[in-house]
Amino acid sequence: MSRILLAPMEGLADNLLRGVLTAIGGYDWGICEFVRVSGNVLPVKTYERICPELLNGSRTAAGTPMRVQLLGSDPYLMAENARRLVTLNPAGVDLNFGCPAPTVNRHRGGAALLGEPELLNRIVSAVRAVVPVDVPFTAKMRLGIDDTSLAVDCAQALAAGGIDELIVHGRTKLDGYRPPARWEWIDRVRAAIDIPLIANGEVWTVEDFRNCQLATGCADIMLGRGAIADPLLARRVRGEETGGWAEVAPGVAAYWLGVRRKVVPDHAGGRIKQWLALLRRNYPEAEVLYQTLRPIKTAHEIDAALIAAGIPGALPLAA
């Protein structure tokens, strides 16, 4: 049976959205947004803020295991932060070598390290030395910075460092999120390493999922933006009966209630609009709701609009 995993998505899939998506179901495990490691060993509260699931046995409320991802370039600091992280009993430890964001890359983080296979190996080896063998240890990478010339070298360096599994996003840093994903290169990487490989990138539909498996040779697939655009996708892949928008809409309400409690009102609206902008790829009802909310500025007006739209579970909150 193929595993279906939820990708880490900085600025998009926070703990609130992870909670909604995993409650709808279909995921074996996921990875939280990255924890940035720079000049010190981070306090416990930083890990718990970014991955509140740590306070619930490293699982979402629905019971889906959530691994914690570290991002940084200093082997010693990455290892010391991993040492602290494992005291919190995470469902797993993942290392980020895939983030294409310029602000991250300027500080030698994420995909910016894909030109230095030797450094990747040193980081992984250092972290491996402090992560117990019974804690899943993975890394996520892209195919390179500007091209794919070092993709295999990077993957082999990571595997040699001691990770249990490798996740490969089938694009370079320069590609950003532009289609298509280079699935054929994921297959080349898979054939060059002796640890399991998980494919990621440009899987929006059940057909995409199957085509990605065929093109990459990978049974296991990590869903990113496709999971957010269709919260039922993982279950569709599994052949389960799904209820369409009627099943998604309560999740929209639950997410909004969470956002209202977590985010200051002036910024809350942008969060739900961001999700609806992706949902409308698959749900006409989400398009209607997006257009309704688009000009609305205040959180209270969004409360009222969701109630007027008949979104199950939508409730007004006090200021």
- Ranges 15-24, 130-139, 211-220, 259-268: which has the least confidence: 259-268
Q: What would the mean pLDDT of 17-32 be, rounded to a whole number?
A: 98
Tell me the mean pLDDT in the region 35-54.
97
The yes-or-no verdict on residue 316 having pLDDT over 60 is no
Q: What digits encode the pLDDT tens for the residues 152-202?
A: 999 999 999 999 999 999 999 999 999 999 999 999 999 999 999 999 999
Query: 108 pLDDT band (50/70/90 cuts)?
Result: confident
* Beta pairing, strands 165-169 & 4-6: unpaired
Banded pLDDT at 1 (limits 50, 70, 90): confident
Asked if the model's pLDDT at residue 106 lies above 90, the reply is no
Share of the chain above pLDDT 70, in %: 97
pLDDT number for residue 107: 67
Residue 60 neighbours by CB distance under 10 Å: 24
Whether the predicted pLDDT of 318 surpasses 50: no
Instruction: Answer whether residue 307 shows pLDDT above 60.
Output: yes
Residues 79-103: tens digit of each pLDDT: 999 999 999 999 999 999 998 887 7
What is the rounded distance in angstroms from the CA atom of residue 30 to the CA atom of residue 205? 19
Strand partners, 5: 29, 222
With b for 16 or more beta-carbon neighbours within 10 A and e for fewer, the 67-95 pattern comes to bbbbbbbbbebbbbbbeebbeeebbbbbb
By annotation, the residues acting in catalysis are 99
With the C-alpha atoms ordered 11, 12, 17, 22, is the resulting torsion angle positive or negative? negative
Say yes or no to pLDDT of 31 above 70: yes
What would the two tokens of residue 182 be? Answer: 């280079």
Contact 35, 42 (CB under 8 A): yes
**3 state SS of 61:** coil
pTM: 0.95
| Mean predicted lDDT score pLDDT of the chain | 95
Give the domains, in start order, of the chain with CATH numbers.
4-237 (3.20.20.70), 245-308 (1.20.225)
* Torsion angle (degrees, nearest 10) of CA 234, 236, 242, 247: 40
CA distance 70 to 96: 6
Q: Could you give the CA distance from residue 149 to residue 129 in angstroms, rounded to a whole number?
A: 29
**DSSP string computed for 73-107:** S-HHHHHHHHHHHHTT--S-EEEEE----HHHHTT
Question: What digits encode the pLDDT tens for the residues 201-252?
Answer: 999 999 999 999 999 999 999 999 999 999 999 999 999 999 999 999 999 9
- What was the pLDDT predicted at 81? 98
